């Protein structure tokens, strides 16, 4: 059953990890997807893969923290697909450190990518989510359901030592989600957040061999210490981290009509990891 037939879904951070898995699953469910990422090659490759499988996809390269990103990606989406139904704020990375040694740049970088970027993108999408719905209500008495899915983290709900910047930003996105659910619910826009625990991506890979992300002149090392991950899986109820595909499933649910009365929820997708 195609749960997202003909929906236009914009997914940030779709180049790899959870965003790429979500894009594949959205496409399998009939969505037309806009794949945004900082890195051009992975989104171009993914768009080609989805098109070869019979889907519709547009690759868009850009930095969600840049001032022009939101208006440019929304314009590209409308030009290519003629509308917008689902917005997934997923792009991000971690830049861990303890509070007493953290400088302003390290603090601000997390707020920029995980909190301000979703805020700006939702604001830029308002004319096509909120205002279109308002016009539909005026004309037909009801608006089509539209969705916003924000990616948060258990760090944002419970805190996590060494991630004060990331936790604060991911906590902020929960406030953003709950408030928007109250502001746009009447326009039939459902806004929800998904809080992941440990999902196997480069953000949870062993830091010792981990990848880096280049931000300005900083090469930021991604991943978590190997022994930490071993400890987490030892005490995890399911004994393992989740896969990106397992992380993507609940996003399809939230994007679909099955979740038309689910609004302002913070869905923890952790495999039962109690913190």
Ligand X SMILES: NC(=O)c1ccc[n+]([C@@H]2O[C@H](COP(=O)([O-])OP(=O)(O)OC[C@H]3O[C@@H](n4cnc5c(N)ncnc54)[C@H](O)[C@@H]3O)[C@@H](O)[C@H]2O)c1
CB-wise, 143 or 229, nearer to ligand X? 229
Give the residue with the Cβ less far from ligand X, 29 or 114.
114
| Dihedral in degrees, nearest 10, Cα atoms 259, 46, 199, 267 | -10
Q: Report how far apart, in Å, the C-alpha atoms of 110 and of each of 4, 64, 186 are.
A: 31, 12, 31
By CB atoms closer than 10 A (0-12, 13-18, 19+), residue 195 is buried
- How near is the Cβ of 18 to ligand X at its closest, in Å? 4
Does position 39 interact with ligand X (CB under 6 A)? The reply is yes
The contact pattern for ligand X, residues 49-88, with x = CB under 6 A and - = no contact, is: --------------xxx-----------------------
Q: How far is the CB of 233 from ligand X (least distance, A)?
A: 12
Count the alpha carbons within 13 Å of 196 in the hemisphere toward its beta carbon: 25
Residues 133-162 that bind ligand X (CB under 6 A): 151, 153
Nearest residue relative to ligand X (C-beta): 17
Size of the site for ligand X (CB under 6 A): 27
- Tell me how far, at minimum, the Cβ of 155 lies from ligand X, in Å: 7
166 given a catalytic annotation: yes
Question: What phi and psi values does residue 50 have, to the nearest 5 degrees?
Answer: -70, -40
d(CA 91, CA 71): 16
Q: For residue 224, what is the DSSP state?
A: B
Site for ligand X in 87-116 (CB under 6 A): 90-93, 113
Nearer to ligand X, 93 or 107 (CB): 93
CB of 261 to ligand X, least distance (A): 25
Residues 191-210 as x/- pattern, contact with ligand X by CB under 6 A: -----x-xx-xxxx------
By CB under 6 A, name the one of 17, 55, 172, 250 that touches ligand X.
17
Give the three-state DSSP class for 260.
Answer: coil
Residues with Cβ within 8 Å of residue 236, at least 6 apart in sequence: 198, 271, 272, 273
- Catalytic annotation, pick one of 158, 166, 196, 261: 166
CA neighbor of 130 nearest in space, from 184, 93, 61, 203: 184
| DSSP string across 8-21 | EEEEETTTSHHHHH
Give min distance, CB of 151 to ligand X, in A. Answer: 4
Contacting positions for ligand X (CB under 6 A)? 12-13, 15-19, 37-39, 63-65, 90-93, 113, 151, 153, 196, 198-199, 201-204
Active site residues: 166
């Amino acid at each position: 059953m195609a749960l997202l037939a003909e929906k236009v879904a914009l997914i940030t951070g779709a180049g790899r990890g959870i965003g790429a898995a979500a894009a594949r699953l959205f496409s399998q469910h009939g969505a037309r997807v806009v794949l945004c990422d900082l890195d051009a090659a992975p989104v171009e490759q993914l768009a080609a893969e989805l098109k070869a499988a019979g889907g519709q996809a547009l690759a868009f390269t850009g930095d969600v923290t840049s001032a022009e990103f939101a208006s440019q990606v929304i314009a590209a989406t409308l030009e290519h697909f003629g509308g917008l139904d689902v917005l997934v704020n997923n792009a991000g990375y971690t830049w861990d450190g303890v509070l007493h040694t953290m400088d302003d740049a390290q603090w601000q970088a997390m707020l920029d990518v995980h909190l301000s970027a979703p805020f700006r993108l939702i604001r830029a999408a308002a004319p096509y989510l909120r205002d279109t719905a308002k016009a539909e209500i005026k004309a037909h008495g009801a608006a089509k359901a539209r969705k916003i899915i924000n990616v948060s983290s258990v760090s944002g709900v419970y805190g996590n030592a060494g991630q004060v910047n990331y936790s604060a930003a991911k906590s902020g996105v929960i406030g953003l989600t709950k408030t928007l659910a109250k502001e746009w619910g009447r326009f039939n826009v459902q806004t929800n957040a998904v809080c992941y625990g440990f999902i196997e991506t480069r953000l949870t890979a062993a830091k010792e061999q981990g990848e880096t992300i280049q931000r300005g002149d900083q090469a930021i090392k991604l991943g978590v210490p190997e022994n930490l991950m071993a400890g987490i899986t030892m005490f995890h109820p399911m004994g393992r981290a989740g896969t990106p595909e397992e992380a993507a499933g609940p996003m399809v649910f939230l994007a679909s009509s099955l979740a038309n009365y689910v609004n302002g929820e913070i869905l923890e997708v952790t495999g039962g990891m109690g913190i």
